[in-house]
Amino acid sequence: MIILGLDPGLGTTGWGLIAADGNRLRHVGNGQIKTEPSMPLPRRLSNLYEALGEMIRVERPDSAAAEEVLGNTNAQSTLKLGQARGVVLLAAASAGLAVGEYHPSVVKKAVVGTGGADKRQIQAMVGHLLPGVKLSGPDAADALAVAITHAHHLASAQARARRSTGIGA
């Protein structure tokens, strides 16, 4: 299964693709989609949608997951981030992908082991879990962490389903 992880942002949206086979993970690709701050907001959102849609068409992931948005003290920044996140969710859903959503602390705990991990710790663990990965930047690392979290959650759900049905027990 190919999983697309997404770290939404208006200035930079990170994306990461992994192949998951149970608990075995393999890096497929990662990158960042940037929008030009001098452009009008609607054009930036449209560019984000188009670039993400094209990446999904080319890479053909089986499912997607996105990080949830945390509010901050600047309401305008939070609103713009929420709009970018909406575009990211729309692009994935429009491509027919089921989209998981994870709070940042859940992602950090799944990848690093603590919900208070910083970006350096996330990057280090992503590198450990996906040996040889060359990260396009911190937003791509965060997106890969979201994909890893989604893979773990899917594997756990599948194991629970097998136990409840007695298949594979």
Q: Output the known binding site for Mg(2+).
A: 7, 67, 139
The two tokens of residue 13 are: 């949206």
Instruction: Tell me if residue 50 is catalytic.
Output: no
Catalytic-role residue among 21, 62, 118, 139: 139
φ, ψ (nearest 5 deg) of residue 128: -70, -40
Catalytic-role residue among 54, 59, 62, 67: 67
Instruction: Tell me if residue 139 is catalytic.
Output: yes
Would you call 75 exposed, middle or buried from its count of C-beta atoms within 10 A (0-12, 13-18, 19+)?
A: exposed
Strand 63-67 versus strand 2-7 pairing type: parallel
Binding site residues, as ranges?
7, 67, 139
Measured distance CA(156)–CA(124) in Å, rounded: 24
Measured distance CA(146)–CA(155) in Å, rounded: 14
Active site residues: 7, 67, 139
